[in-house]
Structures are given as structure tokens and as C-alpha cells.
Structure 1
Amino acid sequence: MKVLAYAGGEYLTGDDIADALLDYSQALADVGSAASVEIPIVAKDGHHAEATFLVGPASQIVATTAEGEYEELVDDDLVHRLRGLARALHPVAVPVDADDRPTDFDSAI
């Protein structure tokens, strides 16, 4: 589990969820954009809840590893969606040859 420190609060969530949120936040910052993302968390009383994060260029999120009694939060669909959104913000570079012309796409793969 990881604790996300954000906007003066601390939010306990799963490792993969926290990592995907940070990756998406970085990708948004790279392109000067922002988005709201809702993630599952473990509330202070131990029940599952949701928290919404506004992430992008001004985000200041710190993730730290947390040891505790709670079972790891897992949301594979959310992690997959966030990673896909992050990848979509970083198009794949096309290799160029010495003349600065795109190379044959089939040979570049």
C-alpha cells in the first residue's frame, strides 16, 4: 500500500493505483494539461471510499510506502485506464535517417 500526500491530506491506496496516478499526473504535466481522477482509498476508519484528485502541471503529490493492517487495494481496470491515458499523451517518436526524413515504418518496428 502507499500513502499519497496531496493538498494537505493523506490517502491510503494500492501500490499500482498510486503509481498509475503519478504516471498520469506526470504525463499531463508534460503536455500542460490537467484532469480529475477518482481513485479508491482506505479511509481512516478502514472502510473503502473514493477520493478525487486534480492532477496536472501544478500537482504536488508524494507517494510513500505504508505498512499496515489493510489488504492491498486493487483496481486493474483503473490502472489500465490511467496507463493508457498517460501513453496517449506521449506519442511514439518515429526514427529518422541521416537526411532527416522518416524511415520506412515497417523497418522501424
Structure 2
Amino acid sequence: MHRIYYAGDSILTGSEIAHALLQYAQMLAKAATAATFEIPTREEDGSVGHATLLLGPASQLIADAEQSEDEELVDEELVDQLKRLTGALQHPPGPSAVMTQGPGGNVYDDL
């Protein structure tokens, strides 16, 4: 598990989720753009919650490994989506692509 420190607060989430989120935030900052993204979190009572983060050029995120007795949060679909979005920012689409708004942020589709 990883604890993400953000805007004077912190949330606990899965390690793969945290790493993918940080990579996406880094690419958003390099592209001088922003997006909101919702991730699963582990609440203090052990239940699963959700947090929505605004990621952009001024976002200051820190992810720190943390031991937890609770089960690791895993969301392969979310991690894959973050990786696709990160890749789209690393390799912007050509002139024959359109940008559409998806549930987790911007997604580029080649025509």
C-alpha cells in the first residue's frame, strides 16, 4: 500500500495505483494541463472509499510506502487506464486524432 500526501491531507491506496497516478500527474505537469481522477482508497476502518484528485502542473504529490494489515487495493482496469492516458500525453496524437472526455479524464482516439 502507498499513502499519497496531497493538499495537506493524505489517502491510502494500492501501490500500483499510486505509481500509475504519479506517472500520469508527471505527464500532465509536463503538458501544462490538468485533469481530475478518482481512485479507490482504504479508509481508517478498513473499508474501501474513493477520492477524487485534481492533478495539474501545480500538484504536489508524495507517495510513501506504508504497511497495512488490510488487503492491498488492486484495480487493474484503473491502472491500465492511467497508463494509456500517460502514454497519450507522452506521445501526443497526430492531426488525425480527436480528444474525447472519458470517465477518468481525457482520452485520445485516432481516426
- Per the TM superposition, whether the score is higher than 0.5 is yes
Q: How many Å separate the matches in 2 of 1:78 and 1:58?
A: 23
What root-mean-square deviation, in Å, do the aligned CA atoms of Structure 1 and Structure 2 show?
Answer: 1.0
Query: Runs of 4+ in structure 1 displaced over 6 angstroms?
Result: none
For residues 48-67 of structure 1, the aligned pairs below 5 Å read 48-67=48-67
For residues 86-105 of structure 1, the aligned pairs below 5 Å read 86-91=86-91
| TM-score, L = length of structure 1 | 0.82
Q: By how many angstroms is 1:46 displaced?
A: 1.2
Q: How many Å separate the matches in 1 of 2:19 and 2:56?
A: 15
Structure 1: where are the runs of 5+ without partners? 93-109
Partner of 2:71: 71
Q: Which structure has the larger Rg over C-alpha atoms?
A: 1
Identical residues among aligned pairs (%): 48
Structure 2: where are the runs of 5+ without partners? 93-111
Q: How many Å separate the matches in 2 of 1:91 and 1:39?
A: 24
For residues 1-109 of structure 1, the aligned pairs below 5 Å read 1-91=1-91
| TM-score, L = length of structure 2 | 0.80
Q: How many residues align?
A: 92
